Every structure is written in structure tokens, then in C-alpha cells.
Amino acid sequence: MIRKNIVLKNTEVILDDSKVVFHQETSFLIKPYFREDLFINYDIDLSEVPISILNIPFVANIYPMCWFLGATLKVKTLDKNFFESIEIVKQEFAKFYPEILFRNSKLIVEQLDEIQYTPKNKAMLFSGGVDALYTYSRLDNKDVQLITMHGADIDIQNVAQWEKIKNITKSLELTKNNPNYFIKSNVRRFYRSKVEKLIYNNNQDWWTLIQHGLSLTSLIAPVAYKNGIGEVFIGSTLDAKNELFPWGSSYIDNYITWASTQVIHHGQESNRFNKMKILCDYFDEINLPTPFRVCYHNQNTKLNCSMCAKCYRAIVTLIVLGKDPREYGFEIETMHGSVEKFYDNLLIFIKGNVFNQAVYFYWLEIVEKMNEKNNIAFIFSDEVLEIKKYHKLKELLNKLKIDKSNKKKDFKEKIGVLRTKYYNTLNKYLK
């Protein structure tokens, strides 16, 4: 049998740049899955951080690939708590992907270190988006440390956009007294698109379905060691009722631990629409309107482009809530018929895109609120025109809601359903 091994040969720490580079040696069968070595840039002094802590992000990003490849990952040293927790995470992912239990993947560590520190602080992943702001608003947030990533949602090569986001994050009135930390990594570029094929019937991407919860939280490990962080919060993408399908950041995050740190997946009690409502009420309560950063469009040069899927959802949600989207980081022209043009473009977008998206249920949350009798939409300038357009929007979403529920699944979806039933049955016998 040809061996499938990935060996971490050297964890290079470049102190002048606060940079860690993981040099790996890979079997020739697995080499085509990788583009370059994984690296991470921090804005803290790394000189006293143990290698067993620095290695956590490498294992978190590589080992899940081994689950599907049937490969062995070899590392010289690793924190003992993380070693144990990632095996639990593997078992949780196996509930969605039982095939990984038969691929004979292994994590071999020469030396497990029991690292401990006094857990005196807490931190959270902070993007400035709805989920992050919701988590921030629910915490005792006075001293929480905010950690923002470059290379996750903003492409690592998009330096201009990153610098803009850093400046906005630092100057945000809501969080101006919170410590900010910034991490840069090629977590989404060190592997090739071939990795996407590891997931049968992949209707999203590796990052969304497998990687991002483990990846984003594990990158914080050296900061947690330096700052004595006991809890790391990551805002939920989905509410609990939508946790019925695989997702790379969900309740599974709660099993991630290292040293004296526990990861907490926060906010599943509320869906996206309700989060925005609660946030708007919160901003009103503290008298501090705060912009949402929801846009990651690769052509965006502003806080939000105001014309992509995420922007449209946020804008419509605010309109349904009776709020002016312009007060929350979005740009809507109101002169010379521009509002009519905005609604027309929105209707075209929904017809062509919304119910082809895997997250169409976000729009279902919106239309449910639109259907309520006491709903009063925000009016920009022309009440008669905008109410007419608003009702067209509501009619379209209700129609698409019906069409979606009646539409027959295509062949690929049928195969996916059969596969899920097969593995669910298999899973019962494995318990």
C-alpha cells in the first residue's frame, strides 16, 4: 500500500515579522492538493510562545483534509488538550460525513505538552458583520479582545481593502475602547481547488463546509497564550433549526479547546433577521448607530458594495424593520428616480439568484416578517412608488417560496439525499 503522509518538518518562527511558516513534507499522492506552505502573521511577540501552541493552527487546517484523504499527519509537538479535542471534533463531523471513519486517517504526535495559563481574559472573532456585532452586544463586552482576520473573507492579496477594514475597525465608535488584534494568513490559498473534490456532492466549498470554524478559532491560539484568554467566542452563522446539514462553523466549535482556552459558538438562539432587529434596538438603546460590514465582494472598494447578495439581504432586512439602511453602512441613491432603480435592480437580482442559493432561507425569514399585518417599511423619499415596489418584492418572494417548496429535486440533489439516508443508517450501527 502506498503511504499517504503529511509531515510537519519545521515550524519556522520569524520573530522580526511575528510570522510562523509551517514547512511540510508531503507524499507524492497528496502533493497536488497543496499550493504552498501555510503561514500566519501576528501582531504580538512570538518569542515565548511554545511550539506546541504555534502548531495548533497547522493541525486544525491540515488534519481535516487527512480525514477525507485517509492520510496520516505527523507533528513533533502539540498541546495535549487540542490533540484530544480535535479527535472529538472529527467524531462530530463524522455524523455528517461517516465515510471519514473508514479512511484510516491518523494524527501522530511525538510529544504532547500540557500547557496551562491563568484564563483571565476573553476574546472574540470580530468582522464587523451581523453575527460578530450580535455576539459583541450580548457579552459583557467592556474588556473583550477583538480579533480580525485577513485571508478569510478578504483575500490575502487584497491589501487595499484590508487596510481600509483595519482602519474602520480601529475607529469604530462602538468598540473604540476594546483591544484589537489583527492576524493575516493564507488559510484559504495554501491548498488547491482539488481539495473541493474531497467532499462528495459538494454544493458549497471546503471553507464553508469543513474548514472555517476550526481554522479561524485555532489561529487565535498564540494570542490566547500570550494574553491569558480563557474563552474565545465565534458568532454563529446559522440558528439552531438550520443545523440540519453540514456546516464548517456550528455547535462543533464548542468542542474546540487548547491549553486553558475554550471556544464558544455563540448566537444560535437567534436567526439572522432577529439578530439585526436586536442589534438595531441595541444601537438605539445606547444611542450609537453602527455600520454593518456584511460585504465581501471581490470588487468592493467601500465598506459595503450595496448591490451583492449579502448587501441586498441586509438592506431589505433594514427596510422591513423600518430602518434607513444609509445609517448602517449602505449607500442608496434617492435622487432622480434612483430609489425606483434600486428596487428594480433588486427584483431582477432576486429572480435570477435568490432561490438558487444554498442560503435562500435567509430570504424566507425576511418574507415572513414582510407578511405580518403590522409591518411598516422604511420609506426613502417617494411613499407611493416605494410601497408599490415593496409589495412587488413581497409578492415575488412569496411566489418563489412556493416555487421552491414545489420544485422537484434535480438528479444531483437526489443522489445527495440517498447518500445522506445511507450514511445516517450506517451511523446508527456505529454508535
Q: What is the pLDDT of residues 59-102, one digit of tens each?
A: 999 999 999 999 999 999 999 999 999 999 999 999 889 999 99
Side chain identity at 269, as an amino acid letter?
E
Number of Cβ within a 10 Å radius of residue 200: 12
Q: Report if pTM > 0.95.
A: no
What are the sequence ranges of the domains in the chain?
5-266, 272-406
**117 Cβ partners below 8 Å, 6+ apart?**
225, 228, 259, 260
Question: Given the DSSP bridges, would you call strands 5-14 and 72-79 parallel, antiparallel or unpaired?
Answer: parallel
pLDDT at 383: 93
Pick left, alpha or beta for residue 307 (phi over 0 → left; psi -120 to 50 → alpha; otherwise beta). alpha
**13-30 residue pLDDT tens:** 999 999 999 999 999 999
Is residue 386's pLDDT more than 90? yes
330-384 pLDDT, tens per residue? 999 877 778 999 999 999 998 888 766 667 788 989 999 999 989 999 999 999 9
Write down the pLDDT at residue 353: 81
Contact assessment for residue 365 and residue 272, using Cβ atoms and an 8 Å cutoff = yes
CA distances from 334 to 3, 61, 225, 303, 324 (A): 63, 46, 50, 19, 12
Q: How wide is the angle at C-alpha 26 spanned by C-alphas 249 and 52, nearest 5°?
A: 60
Asked whether residue 298 carries a pLDDT value surpassing 90, the answer given is: no
| pLDDT confidence tier of residue 52, bands split at 50, 70 and 90 | very high
Residue 78 backbone phi and psi in degrees, to 5: -160, 150
Can you give 112-153 as a three-state secondary structure string? Answer: EECCCCCCCEEEEECCCCHHHHHHHHHCCCCCCEEEEEECCC
